[in-house]
Amino acid sequence: MTPGPDPCPGTGAGEKTADTGSPLEGALVSAAADQALLSLSTPAGLADPYPVYAKLREETPVFRSEIFGGWVLSRFADCQQVLADGETFRVLDAEWRDRHRPGWRDNAAMVLLTALLPWKNPPEHTRERRLLVRDFTVRRVQELEPAVRRATDRVLDRFADATADGTAAEFVGTVLYPLGMAVIGDLVGVPDVDHDRLRRLTDLIGKQVDPAMPAALRAEVDAAAVEFRDYFTELIARRRAEPADDLTSALLVRPGTGAELMSEEEVLNALLVLFGGGYETTAGALGNGVHALLTHPDQFALLAGDPGLAAGAVEEVLRWDGAAQMSQRAAVRPVVLDGREIPADDMVVILGGAANRDPARFADPDRFDITRDDGRGLFFGHGLHLCLGAALARLEMTVLLEQLGKRFPALAIGGEVRRRPNPSLRGMAALPLTR
């Protein structure tokens, strides 16, 4: 569950517009930029948002959006600066929402998300992250590699069986989500029989960060949030009564740094964010990445010929077309970006997808190149809120891409590809493949 744009924008009344000359001119420029943002939810924008991002970077890299009720950034340097400066820019926590989003506590999905680690600021964030970080060290993730490889073999065996007669199999449902569920489910202790139910719930909750979510879905999304929380509350109760060899049991009994123990509420919130965020964005990025590789057959041929390129391919996949496209912060104090004065407490929307195609940061950024060696993008964030599970996600992605190249060098798209209708969390709804 990656933080995305707030679906309840403010009016922006009385806010300073982009400084492009006269107030009217600035308002017109911002209105045009907002129209570009709206186009991200159209079929063309969902298929390829990057021309829109390029236009924003070139013409209005920092502007006040009436749609989001805050400032929108699209250049790498600006986005990185905001993510890195945790003293000046903070996440939109419950206190900020109380000031700016009256009635937000009536939205069960938003209440659920705001209680989780990515939506917290220090000192709460500092304490909870410290108690969890030991489970995602490089050494701990390396210990998980055999289990990740076994899970990858299982789902790829299933894909091989489904395509043995030459027909296409839907890769998202056959491989990507089952793999992500298996990896994070084994870690947390979620039985296989519950995977489909939890996938349905997390997919619904993910719509909360879609700025174009239809109002008619609100009740269904909120109900999913309640059911999701109830599920993990019951899982904690089961593990307290009958501990198992999983992270849920370990968090309930293991003291943290300085003999601190996580409260039951903290354990619950940790499981919610680890499970919800531990497979959704990884599966989304993998689907986008496999599609990119197969629509750039020279790059897939490179990978198939040298599986050692898989780790680099992962970084290029995350830069080129990552799942998490947007995040947000609020200015703690007045700050100037690109000559625009952002008042204290104003929201800032970070277009990470735009930043990762910025030519000022990446040479020839619209070229997909798995041998690229000019640094990482901002898919996993930066600074204080750098994704806790980044190393595990990279491992999962690397193993899958490595094995795809080895086992299925003739892999190809075998039908109509469909994208999920969510510009904030890009991913594939359908990716039929043959081998």
Q: Where are the alpha helices (DSSP H) in 163-258?
A: 171, 177-188, 195-206, 218-241, 247-253
Query: Is residue 292 a contact partner of residue 390, using CB atoms and an 8 Å limit?
Result: no
What are the residue boundaries of the structural domains of the chain, listed by start?
Answer: 23-434
Give the pLDDT score at 123: 92
- The whole-number average pLDDT for the span 362-388 is 92
Tokens of 101: 């989003």
Q: How far is residue 178's CA from residue 155's CA, in Å, rounded to a whole number?
A: 7
Identity at 395, one-letter amino acid code: L
Tokens of 27: 């308002």
Residue 40 has pLDDT above 80, yes or no: yes
Tokens of 161: 């069986």
- Closest CA relative to residue 316, chosen from 386, 278, 366, 264: 366
- The whole-number average pLDDT for the span 199-221 is 82
Distances (CA, A) of 202 to 120, 164, 310: 20, 31, 28
Secondary structure class of 346 (helix, strand, coil): coil
Which of 37-51, 207-221, 344-358 is least confident? 207-221
Which of 25-34, 97-106, 223-232, 403-412 is least confident? 25-34
Identity at 165, one-letter amino acid code: D
Contacts of 147 (CB under 8 A, 6+ apart): 183, 186
Q: What is the average pLDDT score of the chain?
A: 89
pTM of the model as a whole: 0.88
Helix axes 177-188, 264-294, angle to 10 degrees: 160
More confident residue, 184 or 20: 184
User: For residue 260, what pLDDT band results from cuts at 50, 70 and 90?
Assistant: low
Among the four given CATH numbers 1.10.10.10, 1.10.630.10, 3.40.47.10, 3.30.230.70, the one describing domain 23-434 = 1.10.630.10
Helix axes 23-38, 50-59, angle to 10 degrees: 170
Which of 48-62, 109-123, 285-299 is least confident? 109-123
- Closest CA relative to residue 419, chosen from 259, 235, 252, 291: 291
Give the pLDDT score at 21: 47
Peptide bond connecting 123 to the previous residue in cis, omega within 30 degrees of 0 = yes
Secondary structure class of 358 (helix, strand, coil): coil
User: For residue 293, what pLDDT band results from cuts at 50, 70 and 90?
Assistant: very high
Q: How far is residue 374's CA from residue 347's CA, in Å, rounded to a whole number?
A: 30
Contacts 24+ apart (CB under 8 A), 307-310: 307/402, 307/403, 307/405, 307/406, 309/370, 309/371, 310/398, 310/399, 310/401, 310/402, 310/405
Give the pLDDT score at 14: 33
- Closest CA relative to residue 427, chosen from 234, 246, 287, 257: 287
- The whole-number average pLDDT for the span 29-58 is 93
Give the pLDDT score at 24: 45
β 347-351/70-73 pair status: parallel
Q: How far is residue 172's CA from residue 169's CA, in Å, rounded to a whole number?
A: 9
pLDDT in tens, 44-82: 999 999 999 999 999 999 999 998 899 999 999 999 999
Give the pLDDT score at 207: 79
- The whole-number average pLDDT for the span 285-306 is 97
Query: Is residue 409 a contact partner of residue 304, using CB atoms and an 8 Å limit?
Result: yes
